[in-house]
């Protein structure tokens, strides 16, 4: 039985950088292929990857989680505080070869725990119409579609979820813990 593990990772680590490149390449290529019939140009790809470092996902106001499948880096989820009680879920990604193997839900749940540990009571996110898999996942995990909450030109759907608040003892332990799921 192969195991999923999910743990915090520095946003600027080589693992995080490689997963960011894979994520951004996929979502950018999907958008360009759908709307313009070509993949992202190499110069644009490099410019956008470099411009979006992920620094907002560093403590104390954020977290980047890396999912590993059988010990190998396979995905990410980022959380950043937008207000004292509101966090944004971002950079949710699983490598194509690990999709359908049970990692997405534990990854999002770990991000929710990270948001709670930052004091958030609510998680928000945005996504696009063509990212059907993401919208399906969020709905299945209790996110509800809501009004626009940002001006991202690529966002077409906005979601929210009430996270409640865990007891202080559980919150204090959340960032250091590694979540494990078996498949």
Q: What is the C-alpha to C-alpha distance for residues 64 and 62, in angstroms, rounded to an integer?
A: 7
Write down the pTM of the prediction. Answer: 0.83
Look at residue 52 in the predicted model and tell me its pLDDT: 85
Look at residue 45 in the predicted model and tell me its pLDDT: 84
Is the torsion defined by CA of 148, 94, 65, 10 positive or negative? negative
Q: What is the C-alpha to C-alpha distance for residues 156 and 153, in angstroms, rounded to an integer?
A: 8
**pLDDT(180) > 50:** no
For residues 157-164, give the mean pLDDT: 92
Task: Please provide the distance, in angstroms rounded to a whole number, between the alpha carbons at the two ends of the chain.
Answer: 6
- Over the stretch 29-60, which tens digit does the pLDDT of each residue have? 877 777 778 778 888 888 888 888 899 999 99
183 — pLDDT class (breaks 50, 70, 90): very low
169: helix, coil or strand? helix
- Over the stretch 6-31, which tens digit does the pLDDT of each residue have? 999 999 999 999 999 898 888 888 77
For residues 59-87, give the mean pLDDT: 97
């Amino acid at each position: 039985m192969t195991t999923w593990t999910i743990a915090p990772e520095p946003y600027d680590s080589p693992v995080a950088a490689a997963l960011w490149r894979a994520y951004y390449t996929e979502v950018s290529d999907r958008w360009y292929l759908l709307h313009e019939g070509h993949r992202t140009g190499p110069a644009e790809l490099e410019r956008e990857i470099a411009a979006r470092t992920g620094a907002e996902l560093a403590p104390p106001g954020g977290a980047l989680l890396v999912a590993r499948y059988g010990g190998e880096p396979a995905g990410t989820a980022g959380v950043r505080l937008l207000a004292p009680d509101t966090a944004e879920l971002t950079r949710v990604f699983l490598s194509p070869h690990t999709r359908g193997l049970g990692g997405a839900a534990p990854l999002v749940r770990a991000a929710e725990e990270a948001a709670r540990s930052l004091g958030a009571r609510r998680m928000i996110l945005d996504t696009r119409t063509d990212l059907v898999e993401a919208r399906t996942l969020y709905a299945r995990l209790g996110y509800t579609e809501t009004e626009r909450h940002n001006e991202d030109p690529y966002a077409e759907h906005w979601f929210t979820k009430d996270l409640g608040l865990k007891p202080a003892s559980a919150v204090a332990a959340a960032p250091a813990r590694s979540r494990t799921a078996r498949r």
